[in-house]
């Protein structure tokens, strides 16, 4: 009798627990039916009457999730918490990016624990279920996201619902589309940020998309990523009360034409059977290192930017700042000048480059900035060892040391082609700010000054291109650096640095990279081999290579270290650099 009694008790408790969760799914279904329509949300109506939303948020905060319902429950939770943050803000914003810490702040609560949207998606959902379709059912509050469903996701029919929303996104003609005349496929940046979820390369991504496309893409066409639209997915429409009832959910997949319309009376069975995933009960139960393997790159910041893959060519959204300080110490004790090798000295040049960049367009296509160069330099004619570096830190202005803010530059960076988000152009105009920056020889020998910086107007133009391949990234840069003369005794010149960086992301916080750079200088000397006749500057070239390391302390803050060696050159110094930088992006 005792065993029978225990069995009846457990059956009752289990049934009651299931009914409680059934109420959540029913109430969530009513909520989404009432307040969402055509992929948008009526936030203003919810700001007037948030009773249903408040009930759902309170439930998420206090109740424990059953293993069998967890996946559907967490998907609904994400969408509910996104809506709650937008409704709960002091005013309805036109973009979730305008709410500080929208994705990173622990503003939500699940099972009694505070959690951020990024943690919910990238710790409790993506690495646990390993199902790429979650990207088409989790809605971030922006129009760039897939459309939000007007129903709750339910455990008993979750697979069919996720297939339905994935097909809806892929066949709408907006989320992914092709331009056959240009042999190009245009994808949401979601496929760029989370490429590893879909496959090892872009062809694998297109293959995945084609499984759900009514009219498949040509896999040989070039893949491009269009700008993500962070405009709030808000809409005004009449709120019609809905009675709680068990929903009618599709058990077969609707077939969509290329414009997103349902073809009459046509259904197909699911394209493929998804693997059964053993659900881990809590995010803490993920084995150490498992999350790193499943999520190869760190989370995007609130601006949709992944700081780990952020390069010199990356652009910011409107109202966002990038504060960067990069410190370089270049030192040499030998050089090759007009065929002769010179040594027996130590010259050191230290640059502290402070950069402030500001985004001025929502589309992240135009940034402006200010650069300030603070430099100190020194030369020792008697100590060619590393001890001779100390002269550069004398912080004096004499014949063996210089110090000061040497130049200030105004900068603009643009993404010229909307369809090519990984290509940008930057242009900076520098003006010297100290007297005799290239040094000065006093006829009386009393007030000689050492070199500090170029005493010319510098126009620096940079072309950037980057590409991320899973855990690797290739970044290329080609520069056209013009230095225009200020005095009749000077000449003009053009430096053309070409650089390649290859980065590897072993974890979400660590970046290892190698780089190489070749620089060629062209001058307009009357006699390039006689600098005394025209100017001391003559044509030259050098090649430098190095290795670097970045560590991401926060999602919007990292530090960097780089070492380079100038291993060959003509009419140039053969030194090395030691570099330390920090970068901070506002949210």
Query: Are 33 and 102 in a shared domain?
Result: yes
The CATH number assigned to the domain holding 579 equals 2.40.128.130
418-435 tens-digit pLDDT: 778 789 999 999 999 999
Res 442: pLDDT: 83
Residue 20 has pLDDT above 90, yes or no: no
Mean of per-residue pLDDT scores for the chain = 85
pLDDT (tens digit, 9 = 90+) per residue, 365-422? 999 999 999 999 999 999 999 999 999 999 999 999 999 999 999 999 999 987 787 8
Tens of pLDDT, residue by residue over 250-289, are 443 433 333 334 444 343 343 443 433 333 333 333 333 3
In this prediction, residue 17 carries a pLDDT of 41
Structure-token pair, residue 283: 């995010």
Would you say residue 299 lies in a domain?
no
Report whether pLDDT(164) > 90: yes
Cα separation, 583 vs 353, whole angstroms? 12
Q: What is the pLDDT of residue 421?
A: 79
Q: Helices 2-35 & 51-62, crossing angle to 10 degrees? A: 140
Residue 300 falls within a domain, yes or no? no
Residue 556 has pLDDT above 90, yes or no: no
- Point out the domain boundary residue: 294, 322, 347: 294
| 183 part of a folded domain | yes
Please write the tens of the pLDDT for every residue from 317-347: 888 899 999 999 999 999 998 889 999 999 9
* Sheet of 184-187, strand order: 176-179, 184-187, 222-225
Q: Among 191, 195, 134, 190, which residue's Cα sits nearest to residue 162?
A: 134
Structure token digits, residue 417: 């082609």
Give yes or no: residues 322 and 284 share one domain. no
Q: What percent of the chain has pLDDT over 90?
A: 65
pLDDT score of 501: 98
Residues pairing with 475 in the sheet: 466, 501
Residue that wins the pLDDT comparison between 386 and 93? 386
Are residues 357 and 276 located together in one domain of the fold? no
**DSSP for 441-483, written as a single string:** --TTSSS-B---S--SEEEEEEEEEEEEETTEEEEEEEEEEEE
pLDDT over 80 (residue 243): no
| Bigger pLDDT: 225 vs 297 | 225
Q: Which helix (DSSP H) or strand (DSSP E) does residue 194 occupy?
A: none
Is 241 inside any structural domain?
A: yes
Domain assignment present for 276: yes
Alpha helix ranges (H) inside 105-153: 117-119, 126-129
Among 294, 326, 360, the domain boundary falls at 294
The pLDDT value given to residue 304? 52
Q: Which residue has the higher pLDDT, 293 or 165?
A: 165
Q: Are residues 496 and 554 in the same domain?
A: yes
**Domain count within the chain:** 2
Tokens of 53: 């939303």
Q: Strands 222-225, 184-187: parallel, antiparallel or unpaired by DSSP?
A: parallel
Residue at 107 is within a domain: yes
Q: Are residues 284 and 345 located together in one domain of the fold?
A: no
CB 41 within 8 A of CB 239: no
Q: Within this chain, do residues 313 and 240 fall inside the same structural domain, yes or no? A: no
Among 280, 293, 237, 351, residue whose Cα is nearest residue 470 = 293
| Residue 301, domain member (yes or no) | no
- Model pLDDT for residues 62-90, shown as the tens digit of each residue: 888 888 889 999 999 999 999 999 998 87
Q: Per-residue confidence at 200, pLDDT binned at 50, 70, 90?
A: confident
Q: Of all residues in the chain, what percent carry a pLDDT higher than 70?
A: 84
Statement to judge: residues 121 and 9 lie in one domain: yes
d(CA 437, CA 403): 10
Report the pLDDT value the prediction gives residue 533, as an integer from 0 to 100. 52
State the Cα–Cα distance between residues 560 and 579, nearest whole angstrom: 8
What are the pLDDT digits (tens) for 513-552? 999 999 999 988 766 566 555 577 889 999 999 999 999 9
Statement: residue 91 has pLDDT above 90 = no
Same domain, 243 and 332: no
Is residue 302 in a domain? no
Boundary (domain end) residue, out of 272, 294, 316: 294
Would strands 576-585 and 572-573 be described as parallel, antiparallel, or unpaired?
unpaired
- In this structure, the answer to whether residues 535 and 420 fall within a common structural domain is yes
pLDDT given at position 529: 63
Residue 562: give the domain boundaries. Answer: 307-585
Does residue 458 carry a pLDDT above 90? yes
Torsions phi, psi of 359, nearest 5?
-85, 130
Please give the pLDDT value at position 258. Answer: 36
* CA pair distance 408, 354, nearest whole angstrom: 10
Do 279 and 358 lie in one domain? The reply is no
Q: b or e along 334-362 (b: 16 or more beta carbons within 10 Å of the residue's beta carbon)?
A: ebbeeeeeeeebbbbbbbebebebbbebb
Instruction: Indicate if 61 and 154 belong to the same structural domain.
Output: yes
Structural tokens at position 367: 């940034």
Structure tokens at 263: 């073809």
Q: Are residues 325 and 278 in the same domain?
A: no
């Amino acid at each position: 009798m005792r065993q029978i009694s225990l069995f009846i008790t457990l059956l009752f408790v289990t049934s009651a627990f299931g009914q409680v969760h059934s109420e959540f799914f029913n109430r969530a279904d009513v909520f989404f039916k009432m307040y969402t329509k055509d992929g948008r949300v009526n936030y203003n109506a919810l700001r007037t009457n948030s009773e249903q939303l408040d009930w759902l948020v309170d439930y998420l905060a206090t109740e424990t999730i059953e293993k069998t319902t967890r996946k559907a429950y967490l998907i609904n939770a994400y969408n509910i918490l996104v809506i709650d943050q937008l409704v709960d803000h002091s005013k309805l914003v036109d973009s979730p990016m305008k709410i500080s810490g929208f994705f990173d702040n622990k503003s939500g609560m699940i099972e009694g624990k505070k959690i951020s949207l990024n943690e919910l998606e990238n710790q409790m959902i993506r690495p646990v279920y390993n199902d790429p379709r979650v990207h088409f059912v989790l809605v971030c509050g922006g129009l760039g996201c897939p459309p939000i469903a007007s129903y709750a996701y339910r455990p008993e029919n979750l697979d069919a619902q996720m297939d339905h929303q994935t097909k809806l996104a892929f066949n709408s003609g907006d989320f992914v589309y092709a331009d056959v005349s240009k042999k190009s496929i245009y994808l949401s940046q979601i496929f760029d940020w989370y490429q590893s979820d879909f496959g090892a390369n872009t062809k694998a991504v297109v293959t995945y998309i084609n499984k759900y496309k009514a009219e498949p893409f040509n896999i040989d066409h070039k893949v491009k990523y269009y700008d993500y639209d962070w405009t709030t997915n808000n809409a005004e429409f009449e709120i019609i009360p809905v009675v709680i009832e068990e929903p009618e959910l599709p058990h077969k997949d609707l077939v969509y034409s290329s414009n997103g319309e349902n073809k009459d009376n046509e259904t197909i069975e699911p394209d493929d059977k998804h693997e059964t995933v053993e659900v881990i009960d809590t995010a803490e139960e993920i084995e150490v290192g498992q999350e790193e393997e499943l999520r190869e790159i760190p989370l995007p910041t609130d601006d949709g930017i992944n700081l780990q893959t952020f390069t010199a060519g990356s652009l910011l959204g409107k109202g966002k700042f990038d504060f960067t300080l990069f410190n370089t110490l270049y030192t040499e004790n030998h050089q090759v000048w007009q065929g002769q090798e010179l040594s027996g000295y130590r010259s050191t040049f230290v640059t502290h480059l402070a950069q402030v960049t500001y985004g001025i367009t929502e589309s992240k296509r135009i940034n402006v900035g200010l650069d300030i160069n603070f430099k100190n330099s020194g030369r020792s004619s008697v100590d060619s060892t590393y001890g001779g570096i100390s002269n550069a830190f004398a912080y004096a202005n004499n014949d063996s040391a210089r110090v000061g803010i040497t130049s200030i530059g105004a900068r603009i960076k643009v993404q010229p082609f909307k369809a090519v988000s990984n290509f940008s152009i930057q242009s900076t105009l520098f003006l010297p700010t100290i007297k005799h920056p290239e040094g000065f020889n006093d006829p009386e020998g009393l007030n000689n000054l050492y070199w500090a910086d170029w005493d010319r107007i510098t126009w620096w133009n940079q072309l950037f291109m980057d590409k991320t391949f899973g855990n690797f990234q290739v970044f290329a840069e080609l520069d056209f650096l013009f230095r225009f003369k200020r005095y009749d005794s000077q000449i003009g010149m053009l430096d053309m640095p070409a650089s390649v960086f290859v980065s590897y992301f072993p974890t979400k916080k660590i970046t290892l990279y190698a780089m190489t750079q070749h620089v060629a200088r062209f001058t307009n000397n009357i006699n390039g081999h006689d600098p005394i006749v025209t100017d001391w500057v003559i044509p030259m070239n050098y090649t430098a290579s190095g290795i670097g390391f970045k560590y991401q302390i926060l999602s919007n803050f990292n530090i960097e270290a780089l070492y380079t060696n100038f291993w060959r050159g003509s009419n140039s110094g053969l030194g090395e650099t030691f570099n330390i930088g920090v970068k901070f992006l506002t949210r």
